[in-house]
């Protein structure tokens, strides 16, 4: 492949040097032969900070903002086995901040996977039982108020660091792929979508670089209608705030066809997809995120949805902690 030189957006946002970038872009030769279509993997799972995966790319920008505000403690939230919370738990103390995590559920009898990582990193967990997302938001705000009153400087990171800053931070991932691919050719990015910042950032990246690629997200958290509303809101806010001169394009698809029984509920298709990825390419996929997106990719090939697409870039977002959760 001939690398091409293109303008960089990476310098536009202050960031802290966390993780190892650019992450690798790997050809998947056995899978490509198996599917009859060129497939590559963007190895965000190898981002090099704990088991942080795609979250590190967001956090290096979001935590730079926290530091700019002289934050002493970061507050964030997610599922009990949240990859984002574990990544925050690991990153914050490296930058001289504490982390408090609002985990949606009850404390596990035995700490495993990301809960183990949270504890090893010294984060303070708050298990929120059956509280709704809105109720957890209120708990976080209340705790931030308490901390402020005690003289601390709290910085709140939303679910999945999916706010305009986290979305804009993800644009650099598209830039890295673009620098490695030959110009032209119909490229499709396939990714798991939770809080939707990653999907929004990848889409925004194709707009910023003016690439005629398509982006496809498989929702693993919300039904399609709600997910679409969140996605459109994030895209609009991040574009206006960080890239106001960039024109939107209708090149993103979002489906819930791999959601199955809901967030974290395994599906048979995802289990089979993960086994195929491991046996053909040595890729470890988790049942909550990446295996569901990969199952969607396989179904897309089978159904002819990618006819005319020259290559697929599977965005391997990580999720390794969750496998052992
Ligand atoms: C492994 C993994 N993949 C994908 C995602 C989805 O990213 P986002 O929340 O930005 O949609 C997450 C985070 O929730 C994740 O942990």
- From CA 184, how far away is CA 169, in angstroms rounded? 24
Provide the pLDDT for residue 183: 79
> Is residue 3 domain-resident?
no
Q: What is the CATH number of the domain that holds 190?
A: 3.40.50.1100
Residue that has been written with the tokens 């090149």 in this structure: 251
pLDDT digits (tens, 9 = 90+) for 196-229: 999 999 999 999 999 999 999 999 999 999 999 9
How far is ligand 1, taken at its centre, from the CA of residue 55, in Å? 7
| pLDDT for residue 316 | 98
Do both 39 and 169 map to the same domain?
yes
- Angle (CA) 197-239-221 rounded to 5° is 20
Residues 41 and 188 in one domain: yes
Q: Is the pLDDT of residue 286 over 80?
A: yes
Query: CB 253: neighbour CB atoms within 10 A?
Result: 17
222 and 103 fall within a common domain: no
Residue whose Cα lies nearest atom 16 of ligand 1: it is 83
In the reported structure, the alpha carbon of residue 161 is separated from the centroid of ligand 1 by a whole-number distance in angstroms of 10
Distance from Cα 303 to the centre of ligand 1, integer Å: 25
Q: Is residue 2 part of a domain?
A: no
Residues 169 and 276 in one domain: yes
- Do 40 and 80 fall into the same domain? no
* Residue 189, domain extent: 10-52+164-323
In this structure, are 103 and 194 located in the same domain?
Answer: no
Inter-residue contact 56 to 80 (CB < 8 Å): no
Does the C-beta of 86 come closer than 6 Å to ligand 1?
A: no
- Residues 289-307 have pLDDT tens digits of 999 999 999 999 999 999 9
Ligand 1 close to Cβ of residue 113 (< 6 A) = no
Does the CB atom of residue 285 touch ligand 1 within 6 A? Answer: no
Closest-lying ligand 1 atom to the alpha carbon of residue 198: 10
pLDDT of residue 94: 97
State whether 292 and 182 are in the same domain.
Answer: yes
Residue 317 sits in the same domain as residue 201: yes
Q: Among 161, 191, 211, where does a domain finish? A: 161
In this prediction, residue 34 carries a pLDDT of 97
**CB of 85 closer than 6 angstroms to any ligand 1 atom:** no
Stretch 165-192: mean pLDDT, rounded? 94
Ligand 1 mutation pick, 43, 158, 194, max ligand atoms within 8 A of CB: 194
pLDDT at 1: 36
| Alpha-carbon gap, residue 316 to 101, rounded angstroms | 25
State the average pLDDT over residues 131-147: 96
Q: Three-state SS for 270?
A: helix
For the chain, report the end-to-end CA distance as a whole number of angstroms. 39
131 alpha carbon to ligand 1 midpoint, in Å? 21
Atom of ligand 1 nearest to the CA of 192: 4
- Strands of the sheet containing 252-255, edge to edge, are 25-27, 38-43, 311-316, 187-193, 214-219, 252-255
For residue 30, pLDDT beyond 50? yes
Q: What is the pLDDT of residue 179?
A: 95
In angstroms, what CA-CA distances link 276 with 103, 264, 269? Answer: 32, 20, 11
Residue 106: left (phi > 0), alpha (psi -120 to 50), or beta?
beta
Q: Which of 114, 160, 217, 218 to mutate to test the pocket of ligand 1 (most atoms within 8 A of CB)?
A: 160
Cα-to-centroid distance, 290 and ligand 1 (Å): 8
Band (pLDDT 50/70/90 cuts) for residue 8 is low
Q: How far is the CA of 195 from the centre of ligand 1 (A)?
A: 7
Using a 6 Å cutoff on CB, does residue 203 contact ligand 1?
no
| Ligand 1 atom 12, closest CA | 194
- Provide the domain count of the chain: 2
**What's residue 182's pLDDT?**
84
Query: Could you identify the atom of ligand 1 that is nearest to the CA of residue 217?
Result: 11
Q: What mean pLDDT do residues 132-146 have?
A: 96
pLDDT at 216: 98
* 5 found inside a domain: no
Please report the atom of ligand 1 found closest to the CA of residue 197. 10
Do residues 187 and 129 share a domain? Answer: no
């Amino acid at each position: 492949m001939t690398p091409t030189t293109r303008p960089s957006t990476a310098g536009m946002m202050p960031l802290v040097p966390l993780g190892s970038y650019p992450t690798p872009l790997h050809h998947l030769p056995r899978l490509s032969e198996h599917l009859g279509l060129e497939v590559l993997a963007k190895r965000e799972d190898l981002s090099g900070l704990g088991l942080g995966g795609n979250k590190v790319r967001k956090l290096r920008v979001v935590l730079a903002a926290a530091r700019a505000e002289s934050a002493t403690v970061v507050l964030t939230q997610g599922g009990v086995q949240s990859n984002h919370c574990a990544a925050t738990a690991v990153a914050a103390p490296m930058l001289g901040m504490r982390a408090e995590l609002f985990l949606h559920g009850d404390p596990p009898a035995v700490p495993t996977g990301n809960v183990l990582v949270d504890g090893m990193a010294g984060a303070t967990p708050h298990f929120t039982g059956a509280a709704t997302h809105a109720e957890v938001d209120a708990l976080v705000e209340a705790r931030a108020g308490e901390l402020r009153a005690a003289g601390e400087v709290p910085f709140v990171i939303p679910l999945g660091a999916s706010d305009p800053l986290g979305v804009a931070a993800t644009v650099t991932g598209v830039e890295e792929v673009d620098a490695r691919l030959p110009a032209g050719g119909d490229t499709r990015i396939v990714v798991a979508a939770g809080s939707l910042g990653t999907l929004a950032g990848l889409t925004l990246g194709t707009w910023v670089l003016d690439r005629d690629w398509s982006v496809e997200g498989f929702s693993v958290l919300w039904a399609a209608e709600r997910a679409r509303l969140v996605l459109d809101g994030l895209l609009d806010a991040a574009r206006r705030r960080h890239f106001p001169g960039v024109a939107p394009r209708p090149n993103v698809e979002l489906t819930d066809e791999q959601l199955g029984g809901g967030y974290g509920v395994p599906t048979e298709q995802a289990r089979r997809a993960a086994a195929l990825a491991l046996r053909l390419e040595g890729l470890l996929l988790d049942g909550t995120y990446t295996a569901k997106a990969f199952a969607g990719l396989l179904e897309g090939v089978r159904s002819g949805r990618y006819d005319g697409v020259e290559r697929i870039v599977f965005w391997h977002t990580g999720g390794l902690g969750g496998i052992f959760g």
